[in-house]
Amino acid sequence: MKTEIINKVVLTNNNELLLILVGEGKAMYQYVYREAAGVYWDNNQKGFKSTELKEWTVCDWFFHIKEIVKTGLNVDLKVSDTLIWENIPEIEQTKIKKAL
């Protein structure tokens, strides 16, 4: 299993959750959409993103993306020690940190 490092977690202006990787990613990451689970590869941002957040919280989507990438692409997403949070409510950051 390959490991990728998340260095930034962003809630976009479109209300999508974006997990930006340290590196450039791989061309094969674009195929994550085939899992039909609302997770996509954003080649411009070099990260995995959700569809628009509606019923699910940021924390729900964060772990959903991690799981879909792991099962669908055989890639384990780990968080950087210097993870940057952008537009993520403090309560959601805390829930994610506690669950990691």
Question: pLDDT tens digits for 66-82?
Answer: 999 999 999 999 999 99
- The pTM of this model reads 0.96
Question: pLDDT tens digits for 3-39?
Answer: 999 999 999 999 999 999 999 999 999 999 999 999 9
Residue 65, H or E segment: helix 58-73
Q: Predicted confidence band at 60 (pLDDT cuts at 50, 70, 90)?
A: very high
Nearest-10 crossing angle of helices 58-73, 90-99: 40
**Domains in the chain, ordered, with CATH?**
2-99 (2.20.20.40)
Look at residue 23 in the predicted model and tell me its pLDDT.
92
